[in-house]
Chains A and B, each alone.
Chain A
Amino acid sequence: MQSDQTTVQGSKAGPAPPGAPGSDDRRWKLVSATMRRHGHSSQALIETLHTVQEVYGYLDDDSLKQVAHALGVPLSKVYGVATFYHFFTLKPQGEHTCVVCMGTACYIKGAPTLVAAVNEVAGISTGETTADGKLSLLSARCLGSCGLAPAVVMDGEVVGRIGDNDMKARITNWLESPGAEVANA
């Protein structure tokens, strides 16, 4: 469910400026392709937003404007849809993402203490990103891996039956690791 690391980092470059629908931007081509596949129909809005988030890591303002223009949908509606669905995010994510499942099975098996553990070592609450942009903490409604509760997604990988200490160790490891360029080289 999470955008992977490469796309998150890619977002630093930013999308093409408005008015010049990023013809040279490789990522924007993917967005255009999605719109084309649906005949630029307004009904393709959600599908298009999925692609934007997939390639840029989040829904940035410029992309939303361009999508509105290309599909002939009022910008208010684009924002309305983008903010209605939890899966969409209008903020760039940190270098690493940790999604704690807050579904019922995970909740009763200790998800709240996992969030507290992250809060303790990283100083952020759900929905926040550390000041240095290293880590974003998110929550999910249910990952559908309830048999492995409590479950978290760490940089796109589902980790089941995780304990508070293991969680703290992994987060600390991320926070102390060198910058993205080095880590992913």
Chain B
Amino acid sequence: MPEETTNGTQAQTTLDICVAAGCLSCQGDLVKEALEKEIDARGLAERVAVRGVGCLGLCMAGPLLRVSPDGILYQAMVPEDAGEIVESIGKKPVKRLECDAEQSFFTRQVKIVLENSGEVDPDKLDDYTAVGGYDALAKAVGEMEPSEVISEMVTSGLRGRGGGGYPSGLKWGTVAKADGARKYVICNADEGDPGAFMDRSVLESDPFRVLEGMAIAGYAVGADSGYVYCRAEYPLAVKRLKNAIRQAERAGFLGSNICGSSFRFTVDIRLGAGAFVCGEETALISSIEGNRGSPRPRPPFPAASGLWDCPTLINNVETFANVAPIIRNGGEWFSGIGTEKSKGTKVFALAGRVQNTGLIEVPMGTVLRDIIFDIGGGIPDGRKFKAVQTGGPSGGCIPEQFLDMAVTYESLAQAGSIMGSGGMIVMDETSCMVDVARYFMEFCMTESCGKCVPCRVGTMQMHELLEKITQGRASMKDLDLLEELCEVVRFSSLCGLGQTSPNPVLSTLRYFRDEYLAHIRDHVCPAGVCKMKSPSKIHAEVA
């Protein structure tokens, strides 16, 4: 898309530079300024435009810059490179800074959720509408009955991307049918999973898309207002969202008489305050109401009685980001992508000991090995793959024997993990799996809201046992006790946090039991991570 220059003419060349948080923290903003200065200084302002765009995906190589229409990609620039880059426009690219745009990382992705990421300026509504933004909302309110919107969602087979994988169409239908004069739509942008940053990136790169999804949802279920519950730790996402709300309101895509219809929908932002449990839907509602984020028993489900006891639809950021393309292209189209039970694409945050860390979107059913070794570029420093952790604290570690598995909700569950929100943390032999389990248990222990005993006391006990193991002070009895506690906490906790907290322990016990045994019996940490007293010392203490 040719960009307008400052004086309104069409630029021949556009420099698209990533202004999402990852690249900004590598001085992307300074590079952008330097480029603008160079262009001005050379009197090129009429021919060359600079534009800030959303995340281009390969965050670890940031700041990233794409030159259009030449299709050149630059990486890891510093402000001092600006002169050379501007000088090279229309000539030979700057070899030293080039990033291979033809590598599998870019070519093997299929983008639906991220289709505008890196393509539009997240601060400009015009950019969004230029690529068909808000067409889906106009179509929904102008040409479709709410029930038709819902049936399109059902046809699509979209499942919630916040972790549970609940069919979205079904949830929308339930809220639509619920009794209540007032209904609410909530976008869950708490993204508490450590190691996950998809939601952040979507909000920072394409905020209008999320708002469009929420408005369509509001129309479908009969709600006239919505909230985005966003982590306070994501200030840039909050800023872009605020700006997007203001612009959408001014243009009539939010507010009253949306797209000339009688439909009315407003969106407000509520800030989280750093509590993992607030991602749980009933805790989130309690937090919006100004209380501590303690979960409550379900039923009643929020769909029947949620925010201020009104029927409430809660979906994840990525779930809402899938809505506009589904309405635009039809549910059939969407259900043609992915596998039989896991439709569409999934955005993964690839991090840890992998060459290409960043954000990727692939069709459901993509093989794990392709994700890690082809798209991800494999394990750096000549090391060996050990496991990939998916699903955050509710998930598990998947060992090498599953590398040829197609990634779906079902296959991950079979392997003892979950899809979760899409964090994928690759580990090599420098990670100790017992230490990883201890790490997650510490997380769950400190994040437990304390409302119920099995979770509050159980996670603490489990953490203590794991600490004992990693310090080489544990006996086989402790291991038995740990396994017993896993069952108790899993089956008797009130909310998902407690119920799933044993998962990292169970999955590492399942595939890396020998590491536990090495710690307990031989007092050694095979990975060399855990610092333990030498066995002789322990025996001396016992004696």
List residues of A whose CB falls within 8 A of some B CB. Answer: 1, 41-47, 49-50, 77, 80-81, 84-88, 102-105, 107-109, 140-149, 151, 157-161
Contact = CB atoms under 8 A, between A and B. Distances in A.
B195 interface: yes
A146 B290 contact: no
Most B CB within 10 A of own CB, among A86, A105, A157: A105
B291 A81 contact: yes
Interface centre among A1, A50, A86, A148 (most CB of B within 10 A): A148
7 contacts: A44-B290, A46-B273, A46-B287, A46-B290, A88-B273, A141-B192, A147-B350
Nearest 6 pairs between A and B by C-beta?
A103-B194, A85-B273, A87-B274, A147-B59, A158-B25, A86-B274
Contacts of B274: 85-88, 141
Contacts of A103: 194-195
B349 interface: yes
Contacts of A146: 195-197, 349, 351, 357, 423, 425
Contact of A80 (B292, B353, B389): B292
B351 A147 contact: yes
A50 B271 contact: yes
A144 B21 contact: yes
A141 B276 contact: yes
Contacts of A1: 232-233, 235
Interface of B: 21-22, 24-26, 59-60, 62, 191-197, 200, 231-235, 270-276, 287-293, 349-353, 357-359, 389, 392, 423, 425, 427, 430-431, 436, 439-440, 443, 449
A46 B195 CA distance: 26
B353 A50 contact: no
Contacts of B288: 43
B430 to A, nearest CB: 8
A157 B25 contact: yes
B29 to A, nearest CB: 11
B352 to A, nearest CB: 5
B167 to A, nearest CB: 28
Given A104-B194, A108-B353, A144 B273 contact: no
Given A50-B232, A50-B273, A141-B276, A147 B194 contact: no
A77 B231 CA distance: 22
